[in-house]
């Protein structure tokens, strides 16, 4: 009887530990996604139907690709901007292409986006 109770307690502790690890992994994967704002210019906006944004996690290796709806973008002082979500745990390499109904531009220059670490959590002394 005592062995059965100990086994049940052990199983309960293991389940609790697995649940805590699972929640920790889920929280880590959710918190890694961060929003960042891309800003760019184009020399002849009247020739552009849209932009494609390329994001990768190594230089010149872009995946996934996002299509930005040009109709919804209005440049302010000649600068376009859009917010995208990137993995904040590592540097993201970003480039753009402009396109119209007939052609697609070469890739823009590449920029590296990093999410600042911010202020670390407050330490807590233990005995």
pLDDT, averaged across the chain? 76
Encode pLDDT of 109-126 as tens digits: 999 988 766 666 677 777
pLDDT at 25 over 50: no
51 vs 88, higher pLDDT = 51
Q: Which long-range contacts (CB under 8 A, 24 or more apart) does 82-85 make?
A: 82/37, 82/38, 82/53, 83/35, 83/36, 83/37, 83/38, 84/35, 84/36, 84/38, 84/53, 84/55, 85/33, 85/34, 85/35, 85/36
Encode pLDDT of 36-52 as tens digits: 888 999 998 888 888 88
The domain defined by 33-113 folds into: Immunoglobulin-like (2.60.40)
């Amino acid at each position: 009887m005592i062995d059965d109770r100990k086994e049940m307690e052990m199983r309960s502790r293991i389940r609790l530990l697995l649940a805590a690890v699972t929640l920790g992994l889920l929280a880590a994967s959710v918190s890694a996604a961060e929003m960042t704002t891309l800003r760019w210019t184009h020399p002849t906006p009247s020739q552009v139907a849209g932009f494609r944004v390329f994001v990768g996690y190594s230089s010149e290796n872009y995946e996934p690709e996002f299509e930005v709806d040009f109709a919804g973008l209005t440049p302010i002082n000649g600068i376009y901007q859009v917010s995208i979500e990137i993995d904040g745990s590592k540097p993201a390499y970003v480039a753009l292409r402009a396109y119209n109904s007939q052609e697609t531009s070469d890739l823009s220059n590449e920029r590296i986006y990093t999410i600042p670490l911010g202020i670390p959590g407050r330490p807590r002394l233990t005995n």
